[in-house]
């Protein structure tokens, strides 16, 4: 009981704070301007809830629920899958895929944004409130603008629904990262990652503030798609799905694999090497099995300090 009270008190203090710090004395690149964790009229500098039918490529809008800036991704076709020498079998064969227009969160969902959902009673607390090197992370105002971690696939889905959005499909995620103009390896192009382009390969040994690598933006202006944290997407995972997947708005396998409720994760994390933060890299983790015993690990699903998420929307 004392622990729950302490967590709630910390969360209250966290929500009352309006700014974030670097924490831990770690130097980071200059970040782009973003809304504060708790949206205010002053913080939202772009139109809210702009409808899809009136949007133009590059348009941005801010959510009235959590303050997240989303970027309009127009209808288009692209080459999906591994197109380079480091591509693995589960990224092949590469194929042409067409995606209908949608909105994509500009950055990963932050601690501050997720805390709003917890405060509203719609979301559970992250399963661990620490990060790799920070004993106090989620309920610490210094990390308001850092990606929420230690959340399961179900937690991410619940949040996106609460915010009026949804998890992106794997194909939408890769289209937002690659664009349609070329066959780039990374969101920013073919140049190998550096510490000015992404948080990867233990460069910081933990998460960084979202939006800290503007030079690593995708062709559509989406940030942090390589490194920082892996991101849950909506699709079930299957090693060979690309051999039979649809060529228009694919949504992944219809069912989970025989190995459990595998869900796809994309983008790599602060821990992963240059090969694993390529934009075509595919990973997976287990989603919660809500039919299992509520005290079992299967019921909880996978979560760790290297997985977060962002949301998408159709309108």
The per-residue pLDDT for range 165-211, each reduced to its tens digit, is 999 999 999 999 999 988 999 999 999 999 999 999 999 999 999 99
Quote the pLDDT of residue 264. 97
Q: Mean pLDDT in the chain?
A: 87
* Residue 208 or residue 17, greater confidence: 208
pLDDT-based confidence at residue 256 (cuts at 50, 70, 90): confident
pLDDT-based confidence at residue 16 (cuts at 50, 70, 90): very low
The answer, yes or no, to whether residue 22 has pLDDT greater than 70, is no
Quote the pLDDT of residue 258. 59
SS (H, E, C) the chain: CHHHHHHHHHHHHHHHCCCCCCCCCCCCCCCCCCCCCCCCCCCCCCCECCCHHHCCCCCEEECCCCCCEEEEECCEEEEECCCCCCCCHHHCCCEEEEECCEEEECCCCEHHHHHHHHHCCCCCCCCCCCCCCCCCCCCCHHHCCCECCCCCHHHHHHHHHHCCCECCCHHHHHHHHHCCCCCCCECCECCCCCCCCCECCCCCCCCCCCCCCHHHCCCCCCCCCCECCEEEEEEECCCCHHHCCCCECCCCCCCCECCECEEEEECCCCCCCHHHHCCCCEEEEECCCCCCCCCCHHHHCCCCCCEEECCEECC
The per-residue pLDDT for range 85-123, each reduced to its tens digit, is 999 999 999 999 999 999 999 999 999 999 999 999 999
The answer, yes or no, to whether residue 154 has pLDDT greater than 90, is yes
Quote the pLDDT of residue 42. 34
Mean pLDDT calculated for residue range 75-80: 97
The per-residue pLDDT for range 34-62, each reduced to its tens digit, is 444 443 323 344 556 666 667 888 899 99
The per-residue pLDDT for range 208-240, each reduced to its tens digit, is 999 999 999 999 999 999 999 999 999 999 999
pTM: 0.87
pLDDT-based confidence at residue 257 (cuts at 50, 70, 90): low
- Secondary-structure class of domain 2-313 per CATH: alpha beta
Domain ranges, ordered by start, for the chain: 2-313
* Residue 168 or residue 20, greater confidence: 168
């Amino acid at each position: 009981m004392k622990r729950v009270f302490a967590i709630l008190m910390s969360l209250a203090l966290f929500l009352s704070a309006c700014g974030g710090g670097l924490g831990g004395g770690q130097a980071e690149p200059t970040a782009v301007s973003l809304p504060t964790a708790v949206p205010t009229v002053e913080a939202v500098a772009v139109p809210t809830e702009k409808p899809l039918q009136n949007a133009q490529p590059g348009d941005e809008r801010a959510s009235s629920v959590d303050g997240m800036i989303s970027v309009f991704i127009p209808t288009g076709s692209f080459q999906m899958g591994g197109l380079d020498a480091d591509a693995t079998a589960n990224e092949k064969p590469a194929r042409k895929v067409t995606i209908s227009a949608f909105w994509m969160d500009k950055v990963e969902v932050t601690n501050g944004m997720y805390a709003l959902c917890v405060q509203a009673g719609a979301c559970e607390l992250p399963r661990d409130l620490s990060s790799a090197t920070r004993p106090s992370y989620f309920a610490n105002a210094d990390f308001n603008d850092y990606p929420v971690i230690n959340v399961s696939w179900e937690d991410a889905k619940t949040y996106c629904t609460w915010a009026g959005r949804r998890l992106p499909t794997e194909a939408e995620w890769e289209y937002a990262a690659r664009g349609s103009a070329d066959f780039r390896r990374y969101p920013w192009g073919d140049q190998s990652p550096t510490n000015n382009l992404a948080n990867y390969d233990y460069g910081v040994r933990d998460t960084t503030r979202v939006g800290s690598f503007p030079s690593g933006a995708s062709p559509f202006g989406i940030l942090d798609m390589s490194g920082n944290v892996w991101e849950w997407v909506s699709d079930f995972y299957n090693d060979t799905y690309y051999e039979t997947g649809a060529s228009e708005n694919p949504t992944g396998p219809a069912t989970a694999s025989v190995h459990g409720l595998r869900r796809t994760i994309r983008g790599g994390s602060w821990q992963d090497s240059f090969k694993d933060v390529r934009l075509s890299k595919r990973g997976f983790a287990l989603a919660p099995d809500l039919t299992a015993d509520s005290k079992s690990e299967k019921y909880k699903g996978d979560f760790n300090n290297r997985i977060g998420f962002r949301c998408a929307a159709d309108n």
